[in-house]
Each structure stands twice: as structure tokens, then as C-alpha cells.
Amino acid sequence: MKIGIANDMPLAIEALRQAIATRPGHQVLWVATNGEEAVQFCAAQVPDVILMDLVMPKLDGVEATRQIMARTPCPILIVTSSVGANAWRVYEAMGSGALDAVDTPTLAGPNTRRTMDLLLAKIEQIGRVSGVLDAAPRGPAVAERPAPGVPIVAIGASAGGPSALATVLGGLPANFGAGIVIVQHVDQSFAEGMAGWLDGQTQLTVRIALEGERPVPGCALLAATNDHLRMAANGKLTYTREPADTPYRPSVDTFFHSLVEQWPGEAIGVLLTGMGRDGAIGLKAMRARGWYTIAQDEATSAVYGMPKAAAALVAARAILPLPAIAPELARRVKPWLTPAG
């Protein structure tokens, strides 16, 4: 993979160079020491992935990401001194189109190998998602079916997803009558923080999805591990490592397919902004099942990859601008009324 580095710290650049050098198939295409240079270098030579620092002179990583995705889109991995300490900036960058985030590897110390391996794993995952590296994603099959429950709105998103999710969830009423399950390509280390951030953007409750629980009206559950979220035969949510070979973790397709296989009630599928094709085939399966399906349009997508793939497959019954998605969901789902007691 051809890799661009955007970082103004010499020690961090050297650590990134050393990590990249351990993989024969990877090479550093260019090094930008500020955000403005990163935008210019990307326009001249688009890499397979950019390792983008958050704090840089001239343009910070968030604004550089925003400009790159507007001018010469390419996969961006945020590499920062501490993902946890910079969580809100990480969410901003992902809202602007970054795919993932990871701590900057160390040059010396007991964690050097671990931090470098984690960086390389993220790079290679992005390579599989973008198609630079080979991958063969496929969905598992399960048989037995659960009892009907509340309607489910299943939402998939990737690059640009956090802000798109905030718009959709923020437009839904507190008495929205369906359970919502979200599969966003996000590392488990900051999934809980993202759920907390989204919770503050909407009248609904947003929290991470727990093993063995059922979706309920008025609550949005966010997939929160590096394993895949599935609907199990008993109508409860479960996490699984399979399929192990898919580059998307958690996988939107895996969850959408599990709904088609297991859920006898009503469901709506929504595919938002994101790089790659994850979710498109699953959305097609949901439409074939007779369920209503929505894909975000190109004009409002930070990255028109996943919705574009869905449009090409005619997987979406409606292709809508982002602000129109929540009103459409509210129109199709009856309000949930608390039983009198």
C-alpha cells in the first residue's frame, strides 16, 4: 500500500516509518508536516491511505480531512497520541470522512511492538475495505426464527457516519415506535464514547448494544465491539467473530443478513455515508424480503461509497438526502405509546 503521513512531530514520523517498513508491501509515498501540505500532497499523489495526526499547524487533522474528502477523497486513518483523550476530535474527523483511529505507535518501551502491530492491522483493514488488498467477505447463515417483536430500523454507516447518525437520530421523536440498531465502522475503544455523544444529539436513548438484549422502542443500540453484531434465532442481539475474513468489523452486511434470516416482523434498512461496499448486499436482501430500504444520496454523503454501491444494486427503494431520512422514518413508523398503568 502507498501511504501518506501527515504529522508535524519528528519522533511520531519516525515511529510510523519504522512500523510501515516492517511490511514489505507498504511504502511511504509522502510526508506532510502540516495539514495544508497534506491537502496539497494528496491532490498531487493520492495514496492508498493517509495516516493523519489531529493536532498540526496551519490546518488541523479535522479540517485537513474535510478538505481532502471534498477535493481528492481517499481513505484516512487518524493517528493520534491518545484516541481516548482526543475522543471528541476523533468523532469530528470521522464525521468529516476519516475511517478509523488509532494511537500513535511508540519508538521504545514494552508497548512498541503492540502499538505498531495495532497500527498495521488498521492499515491492512482499510486496505481490504477499499479494495487495495484482497478480501472475500460473506455472510453466515442461521435457520430458526424468533417470535415477532417491535419493528426494527437497522442503520449502517462508515466514514462520515457519526455526524450523519446525529442528524438522523436528532430528527426522530422521543416516542418513535421502532427499536434502532446501528452498525457503524468504529473501534471498540471509543464506541461507548460515541454512543454517549450521540445520546446528547437526540430525544431517544442511545447506548451500546449488549449481548443478549432485544431492541426496544425509543432506544438506539450501537454495535460496540470489533466482533460482528447479529440478530440471533431467539430475537436477541449477539456478537460473533464470524465471518472472520470480512474486512469490515463490525460488518453492516452481517447484521442486515442476520435480520433477513431471523426477524419475522417489520424492519427498515438504512445505509448512510461510508467508504467501500459494506451493507449494499445486505440492504438488497432486505428489499427482496419486502422491507422498506433507504440509501443516503450523493450530495449529502461525506463519502459516497456504501450508498453508491446500494444504488448500483437497486437495493434502496428510496434514495434520500440526509435531512429527509428522519422524517421518512417517522412517517413510516407509528409512535410508541406508553401503556396506561
CA dihedral sign of residues 104, 109, 111, 113: positive
Annotated catalytic residues are 158, 185, 278
Q: In whole angstroms, give the CA distance from residue 164 to residue 258.
A: 24
Residues 209 and 181: beta-carbon distance below 8 Å? yes
User: What burial letters (b/e) apply to 41-52, b meaning 16+ CB within 10 Å?
Assistant: bbeeebbbbbbb
User: Does the domain spanning 2-130 belong to CATH 3.30.365.10?
Assistant: no
Question: Cα–Cα distance between 153 and 286 in angstroms, integer?
Answer: 11
DSSP states along 133-173: S------------PPP-S-EEEEEE-TTHHHHHHHHHHTS-
Q: Are 2-130 and 152-332 the same fold in CATH?
A: yes
Which three three-digit cell numbers place residue 217?
422502542
Q: Where are the domains of the chain?
A: 2-130, 152-332
- Find, among 18, 11, 17, 54, the residue nearest to 34 by Cα: 54
pTM for the full predicted model: 0.69
The x, y and z cell numbers of residue 233, run together, are: 434465532
If one counts every other C-beta atom within 10 angstroms of the C-beta of residue 114, the result is: 13
Residues in Cβ contact with 109 at an 8 Å cutoff, skipping those fewer than 6 apart: none
- Give pLDDT tens digits for 187-213: 777 788 889 899 999 999 999 999 889
The dotted CATH code for 152-332 is: 3.40.50.180
Q: Which residues pair with 36 in a beta bridge?
A: none
Question: What is the C-alpha separation between 41 and 21, in angstroms, rounded?
Answer: 21
SS3 266: coil
The rounded distance, in Å, linking the Cα atoms of 121 and 9 is 22
What is the residue-level pLDDT of the chain in tens, covering all 341 positions? 999 999 999 999 999 999 999 988 899 999 999 999 999 999 989 999 999 999 998 899 999 999 998 888 899 999 998 877 777 788 888 878 888 888 899 887 778 888 898 899 889 888 876 677 654 433 333 333 333 457 999 999 998 899 999 999 999 999 999 999 999 988 777 788 889 899 999 999 999 999 889 898 989 999 988 788 999 888 889 998 887 777 777 889 999 999 988 888 899 999 999 988 889 999 999 988 889 999 999 999 999 999 999 999 989 999 999 999 999 999 999 887 544 33
Cα 334 from Cα 167, distance rounded (Å): 20
Residue 176 DSSP symbol:
B
* Torsion (CA) 104, 107, 113, 116 in degrees, nearest 10: 30
Give me the sign of the Cα torsion angle 126, 311, 179, 260. negative
Task: Read off the C-alpha cell for 106.
Answer: 511508540
